[in-house]
């Protein structure tokens, strides 16, 4: 997979790809990243890329021309273009799964007051991180990239992807590491028992309990099975 990010803050984006799991996956050739400075496509000798909105109002808008020119330089028949925008449905794990199958994703980072609305005709999809306003699309582009990259085969240990939160519309069960007792708080006995079937049952139960407490709405998306109902009732009684 190739990811191209169009931004005014190239260094900020590039830095992210040089750390941790993502950097290792990049070094192993799991994905390729290209960061394009929109200013390089400005026709203006001062490299301006923004202007005041028609009709008045506060702030500046990213102009359509440099973005279109940057897109023309990097897109091909395999490209799928995303526009970061607060005016869209929030990005989800399902979106990450769907987009991770594309060969080439281009992400446009807006800035200032946003982007000239005619950008719409040049993109395939808008993506929002959530119902709040960020100063630019850079964080959104990184979130989208990270979520997609970890789903690519060979990016991370495939076992780590199993049973993660949002996989199958459930949150992941709580996990613990050493020490077994900290500040008087004990790790649940079952996890120290070495009894695999009991551990698996406990994890399923706790995953349902956490989903019930923090994201009950996921049960609307994927209703509880009879077995899950029994486990959840048991978990709620024990709580
Ligand atoms: N005036 C616009 C907000 C512009 S914010 C409005 O009220 O709708 C500037 C840029 O930041 C946007 O063009 C977009 O690229 C990015 N951005 C802001 N909030 C975002 C969000 N929730 N998700 C994704 N991108 C966002």
- Please report the sign of the dihedral spanned by the C-alpha atoms of residue 156, residue 150, residue 94, residue 33: negative
Would the pLDDT of 153 be above 90?
no
User: Across the chain, what does the average pLDDT equal?
Assistant: 96
* Secondary structure class of 230 (helix, strand, coil): helix
Would the pLDDT of 160 be above 80?
no
Q: What is the DSSP string of 60-110?
A: -EE-HHHHHHHHHHH--TTEEEEEE-SSSPBP-HHHHHHHTT-SEEEEEPP
CA of 20 to the centre of ligand 1 (A): 27
- Out of 84, 89, 119, mutate this one to test ligand 1's pocket (max ligand atoms within 8 Å of CB): namely 84
Q: What is the dihedral of CA 9, 98, 171, 211, to 10 degrees?
A: 110
For 97-131, what is each residue's pLDDT tens digit? 999 999 999 999 999 999 999 999 999 999 999 99
**CATH (one of 3.40.1280.10, 3.40.30.10, 3.40.50.720, 3.30.230.10) for 2-158:** 3.40.1280.10
Residue owning the nearest CA to atom 21 of ligand 1: 86
CA of 108 to the centre of ligand 1 (A): 11
Instruction: Enumerate residues lining ligand 1, CB below 6 A.
Output: 84-87, 109-111, 113-115, 128-130, 132-134, 136-137, 140
Report the C-alpha gap between 51 and 59 in whole angstroms: 9
CA of 48 to the centre of ligand 1 (A): 20
- Out of 5, 91, 110, mutate this one to test ligand 1's pocket (max ligand atoms within 8 Å of CB): namely 110
Residue owning the nearest CA to atom 11 of ligand 1: 136
Predicted confidence at residue 155, as pLDDT, reads 77
Report the C-alpha gap between 163 and 170 in whole angstroms: 9
For 177-214, what is each residue's pLDDT tens digit? 999 999 999 999 999 999 999 999 999 999 999 999 99
Identify whether the C-beta of residue 120 lies closer than 8 Å to the C-beta of residue 162.
no
Q: What is the 3-state secondary structure (H, E, C) of 109-122?
A: CCCCCCECHHHHHH
Check for a shared fold between 2-158 and 165-238: no
Report the C-alpha gap between 113 and 30 in whole angstroms: 35
Q: Which residues pair with 80 in a beta bridge?
A: 105
**Which pLDDT band holds residue 166 (cuts at 50, 70, 90)?**
confident
Q: What is the dihedral of CA 16, 10, 128, 67, to 10 degrees?
A: -160
CATH class of the domain defined by 165-238: mainly alpha
Look up residue 41 and give its DSSP letter.
G
* Residue-range domain boundaries for the chain: 2-158, 165-238
Convert 102-129 to b/e letters by CB count within 10 Å (16 or more is b). Answer: bebbbbbbbbbebbbeebeebbeebbbb
For 62-73, what is each residue's pLDDT tens digit? 999 999 999 999
Identify whether the C-beta of residue 168 lies closer than 8 Å to the C-beta of residue 215.
no
């Amino acid at each position: 997979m190739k990811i191209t990010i169009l931004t005014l803050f190239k260094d900020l984006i590039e830095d992210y790809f040089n750390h941790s799991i993502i950097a290792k996956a990049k070094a192993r050739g799991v994905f390729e990243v290209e960061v394009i400075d929109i200013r390089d496509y400005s026709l203006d000798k001062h490299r301006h890329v923004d202007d005041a909105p028609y009709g008045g109002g506060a702030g500046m808008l990213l102009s359509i021309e440099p973005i279109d020119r940057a897109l023309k330089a990097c897109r091909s028949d395999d490209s799928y273009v995303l526009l970061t925008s607060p005016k869209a449905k929030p990005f989800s794990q399902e979106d990450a799964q769907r987009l991770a199958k594309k060969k080439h994703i281009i992400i446009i980072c807006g800035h200032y007051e946003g982007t000239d609305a005619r950008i719409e005709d040049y993109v395939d999809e808008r993506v929002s991180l959530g119902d709040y306003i960020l100063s630019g699309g850079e964080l959104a582009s990184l979130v989208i990239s990270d979520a997609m990259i970890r789903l690519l085969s060979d990016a991370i240990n495939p076992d780590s992807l199993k049973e993660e939160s949002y996989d199958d519309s459930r949150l992941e069960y709580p996990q613990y590491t050493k020490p077994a007792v900290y500040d008087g708080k004990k790790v649940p006995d079952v996890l120290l028992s070495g009894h695999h079937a009991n551990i698996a049952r406990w994890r399923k139960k706790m995953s349902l309990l956490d989903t019930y407490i923090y994201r009950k709405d996921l049960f609307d998306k994927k209703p509880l099975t009879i077995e899950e109902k029994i486990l959840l009732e048991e978990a709620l009684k024990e709580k």
